[in-house]
Structure formats: structure tokens, C-alpha cells
Amino acid sequence: MIELPFEQSLFPEGIAIDSRTKTVYLNSLKSKKIVSSSIVGNNPKTFLETDEHNYLAGFGMTIKGDTLYALGNSLRADKNKSILLLLQISTGDLIESYSINHSKFQYLNDLAVSYKNEIFITDSESNKSYKIQRPSKTIEIYLDSKNIPNSNGITISSNDEYLYFASNNGICIVEKASKRIVNQPKEEFSSIDGLKFYQGNLYGIVNGWGDNSKNGLFKFKLNKAGTEVLAKEKLIEFTEEFKIPTTFDIFDGNIFFVINTQLDNFDGEKILDLKKLEPYKMLKLRLPKVIINKG
């Protein structure tokens, strides 16, 4: 367990790890900023100041090359805005900013980036998902399907062919080029927050069940083609020490995530109980190596 040296009022949701520098980035729901430290919890810094580049309450983040992709949302439905910032990690400079400000409520939750520089974004308040084809400055609707409702986590297969949506219906697998749903989602594979494709399988933080015994960190086994979820395996049980884990990242064969985001102590505007705040802890879990049988 790694104790992170940030203010206890951070309330982090998104996490991303720069594999080149072994730096972890966390954003803040409350402070609308992004902080960083070494992967072992040293050298804390503020990477993006509060409200800088009009950043909002932090949600999904990912890193590709020297770019940090960071989503944010306003937390009030009556003043709803969403933003995506592309930030150069080495300098902190803004590369690009994308905004959505509609009369209808939207909530850009998580994102994944393909090898072709396509950015795919989920909207947890509708049936929509979005796409940006860099270097375009336009956000387009990628899918609007009642079969993929209220998606949260999203990830892409290593061959860049399939998108995996963590929807209210379960994990929905979409052939990226044709936009065709290739599986039959199952409710037993739902209530997932963060979702990652790694070595031929999916990993996800499940935190949405009222019965906490159903929550935890899970491995979702895929068939060889990556087009069907065959089974799930619980890797970590969420005990009382786990206070609403959300998203995670995978680096060097390890999963990293904050076990105590304490989001139940923040109502979107204020901290409910200052006395309950505690230091943030990041768990590191070694994943077993996958042995490939070459026949």
C-alpha cells in the first residue's frame, strides 16, 4: 500500500500513470485540478492549477505518449458543462481543449485513445458516446444506442479493433470500424466504473452494487477473438477500508488505484464531515503473467 502525499480534500476520481517517468497523476472532483507524484508517493506537485484552462471537476484520464487526456464536468445539472483537455506532460502546456455545453444533461465520464489518434468518450447520462479524430477540433457522436445505456468505463483491444463499454446493460463490445455490437451484454457484468484491456482480458473496478459483496476488482475473461465475455473472477474484495474506488491504471504488470477516494464524504459542493478525511492510499496489485501457447 502506498500513501499519497496530497491534501485530504482532493477527492480524486481519475488516475493515469506515465510509464516513461513512473509518475502518477490524479485529478480532483472538488478542486478542479490535477496533481502528480512519483509512483512510490514522493515528490508531490500540482500539474494543473485549479480552474486552469477552464478545467472542471475531474473524471476519466489517460496518457498516450507525452499527452495527458483529462475529462471534466460541472457537477450541477442546472449548469451542466463538460470539457476535455489535452496537456503536454513534459511542459504542462495546453495542446487542445474540447467543450460540450448543451441544454440536455451530459456527463463525459471516461475515455480511450486508439493507435489512429481517435479519442472515444463515454457519456454516463445518456446512450451516447463521442469520438474525436485528431487533429480535428470537433466532437462528434460516435454511437447513440439504447443497447449501450449510461456507459462509464471504456477501453480498446490491443489490436485496435474492438471497443469495450461498461454500460448499465453490462459490458458491450463494439467493432470499432463498423460500430456493430458483437456480443449480448449481461447484467452480471455491469456496475463497472474503470475498465481496461490487458493481455487479452478485461479488468474492471465494480462499485455500483448495493450489495457490497458483489463489488471489487474483477478480471473479465474474454474469448480468444475478444468478442465475448466468458466469465468473471474477483481479484480483490472491497472491505471497509475500500471507500469507493473508481478508476485505475496498469503499469509494468501491476494495477494501481486509490482505495479510499472518500467520495461519499463530498456532495458535489462541500465536504460533509471534515473529521472523517484521511490520507489517500494507492494499492498496487501484481497481475499474473499470461503464458502464450505457441503450439
Mean pLDDT of 180-196: 94
Mean pLDDT of 87-108: 88
Decide: 271 and 30 in contact? Cβ < 8 Å. yes
Mean pLDDT of 195-201: 96
Res 295 pLDDT > 60: no
Determine the length of the chain: 295
How far is 70 from 86, CA to CA, in rounded Å? Answer: 7
How far is 2 from 156, CA to CA, in rounded Å? Answer: 28
Res 125 pLDDT > 80: yes
Res 226 pLDDT > 60: yes
pLDDT of the residue at 91: 95
The pTM is what?
0.93
Q: Which of 209-218, 219-228, 285-294 has maximum average pLDDT? A: 219-228
Mean pLDDT of 190-215: 92
Residue 291: band (very low, low, confident or very high) from pLDDT cuts 50, 70, 90: low
How far is 112 from 163, CA to CA, in rounded Å? Answer: 9
Res 170 pLDDT > 60: yes
Among 34-48, 66-80, 180-194, the minimum mean pLDDT is found in 66-80
How far is 173 from 157, CA to CA, in rounded Å? Answer: 10
Decide: 162 and 227 in contact? Cβ < 8 Å. yes
pLDDT of the residue at 77: 65
Domain 2-286 has CATH 2.120.10.30: yes
Residue 246: band (very low, low, confident or very high) from pLDDT cuts 50, 70, 90: very high
Res 79 pLDDT > 50: yes
How far is 8 from 22, CA to CA, in rounded Å? Answer: 23
Number of H helices, E strands in the chain: 0, 24
Res 293 pLDDT > 60: no
Decide: 194 and 246 in contact? Cβ < 8 Å. yes
Q: Which value, in Å, is the radius of gyration of the alpha carbons in the chain?
A: 18
Mean pLDDT of 278-291: 88
pLDDT of the residue at 288: 82
Of residues 104 and 248, the one with the higher pLDDT is 248
Decide: 42 and 31 in contact? Cβ < 8 Å. no
Mean pLDDT of 215-237: 96
Res 294 pLDDT > 80: no
